[in-house]
Amino acid sequence: MFGGVNKACVTGVGNTEYRRKIDRPADVLAVEAVLAAAADAGIEPGEIDGIIPYPGHVGDDVIQAELSLSIRFRATIDMGGCGAVSGLGLASMAVLSGAARHVLLFRGLKGSSGARKADRPSFLPGQPFRRHLEYVYGMNTPAQRYAVLCQRYRHEYGLDRRTLGEIAIAARAHANLNPNAQMHGRELTMEEYLAGRLIADPYTLYDCCLETDGASAIIVSARNGARDIRILSVAEAQGVSPDDTSNREPFMDIGLTYAANRVWNDLGMGPEDMDAAMIYDCFTFELLHQLEEAGFAGHGKAAALIADGGIRLGGKLPVNPHGGMLSEAHQAGLNHVVEAVRQLRGECGVRQVENARLIAVSGWGQLGDGSFAVLGGRNV
């Protein structure tokens, strides 16, 4: 019904182990993930002829040289955590236009054993005004920049700390069904959550995503085989004043607000048609925020969806059954795409979403960039 053969597909996914402090360097991890994705797609690595890297980390040049690739299509998406889902759109255009046959997106990260976030070079836009207007007031990390959004939401709509706690605990419960999750085997209770140390109010330790050593990769192809997962629609957009949240108005608008609408209109579907959602969960509140901006709940209403197991496996809308960035791994959103593909293939064992046919995936980065895609399995 949706797209038929003239849609690009995710044909291969792969990843390394995800944990803290892996000895091997990021490029070795990236090669391992890329080889796994090629094997999963049933192609020789040399058949990869398009490449989209993650800026600031293992580069396309490294993968091209290591695997002796003949690259016909190369692009960089400088949108931080938004790029994994935006990349589905760009890769689709590349393979459907004939610019390439198999486009690789990959991440090779040493988030856990590298420098602390505040000490790493920032790729955020608006660096000059950040240095002049934010850093001099001790505001220089993602947790601080996103905390002010949560604080304002709390003022406008009210927000119980236990709602954020349930987001963290649901992610952990899912991770405990995923042997490769960084936090597998480590239970999280509401008491532990509420006792987490303050990072940037209202965010405490368990509201913040992981930092991970590990790599992931996907391959997008102009092919529509039995295991291939169709990219039904993708959109990206920016919030008003995309590089700055302080003077954004409406303050809670983000790129996803507009991107999700475009996807729903494009497909003639809505949130109620989704069997699961992979939401870019850099912080607990950002998962709630995006559920609202993508239309899964009205403004100020997501807490009701989250309560009573609503976002857990078996709930009304299973969200991030892999554990997400909060409890599986930080792969700048690419692990969300990997999980969506595996879920739609029915490969997820004890964490399988029953009869998953349609899954929405969000990306979110650089304070204003949002991306959104709907992927479909064979039986759509």
Shortest distance, CB of residue 251 to other proteins, whole angstroms?
Answer: 8
- Between 22 and 326, name the residue whose CB sits nearer to other proteins: 326
Instruction: For other proteins, give the closer residue by CB, 117 or 227.
Output: 117
Nearer to other proteins, 129 or 347 (CB): 129
CA proximity to 327, closest of 110, 105, 173, 99: 173
In single-letter form, the type of residue at position 16 comes to: T
The CB-of-30 to other proteins minimum distance in angstroms stands at: 28
CB of 63 to other proteins, least distance (A): 33
CB of 207 to other proteins, least distance (A): 12
Amino acid identity of residue 192, one-letter, is: E
Toward other proteins, which CB reaches closer, 203 or 364? 203
Query: Which of 64/151 has CB closer to other proteins?
Result: 151
Smallest distance, Å, CB 280 to other proteins? 20
Q: Any residues with CB less than 8 A from the CB of 32 and at least 6 apart, and which?
A: 14, 16, 215
Q: Closest approach of Cβ 291 to other proteins, in Å?
A: 20
Choose between 245 and 371: whose C-beta lies nearer to other proteins.
245
Q: How far apart are CA 137 and CA 133, in angstroms?
A: 7
Question: Considering the complex, what minimum distance in angstroms separates the CB of residue 332 from other proteins?
Answer: 20
Nearer to other proteins, 133 or 195 (CB): 133
Residue whose CB is less far from other proteins, 97 or 246: 246
Query: Between 68 and 247, whose beta carbon lies closer to other proteins?
Result: 247
CA distance 100 to 92: 10
Residue 141 CB, nearest approach to other proteins (Å):
5
Residues of the shown chain interacting with other proteins in the complex, contacts defined by CB under 8 A: 116-118, 126, 128-129, 131-141, 144, 147-149, 151-152, 155, 197-204, 241, 244, 246-247, 249, 251
Q: What is the SS3 assignment for the chain?
A: CCCHHHCCEEEEEEECCCECCCCCCHHHHHHHHHHHHHHHHCCCHHHCCEEECCCCCCCHHHHHHHHCCCCCEECCCCCHHHHHHHHHHHHHHHHHHCCCCEEEEEEEEECCCCCCHHHCCCCCCCHHHHHHHCHHHCCCCHHHHHHHHHHHHHHHHCCCHHHHHHHHHHHHHHHCCCCCCCCCCCCCCHHHHHCCCEEECCEEHHHECCCCEEEEEEEEECCCCCCCEEEEEEEEEECCCCCCCCCCCCCCCCHHHHHHHHHHHHHCCCHHHCCEEECCCCEHHHHHHHHHHCCCCCCCCHHHHHHHHCCCCCCCCCECCCCHHHHHCCCCCHHHHHHHHHHHHCCCHHHCCCCCCEEEEEEEECCCEEEEEEEECCCC
Cβ closer to other proteins: 141 or 352?
A: 141
Q: Which of 142, 138, 139, 137 is nearest to 117 (CA)?
A: 142
Minimum gap (Å) between residue 115 Cβ and other proteins: 12
Closest approach, Cβ 203 to other proteins, in A, equals: 8
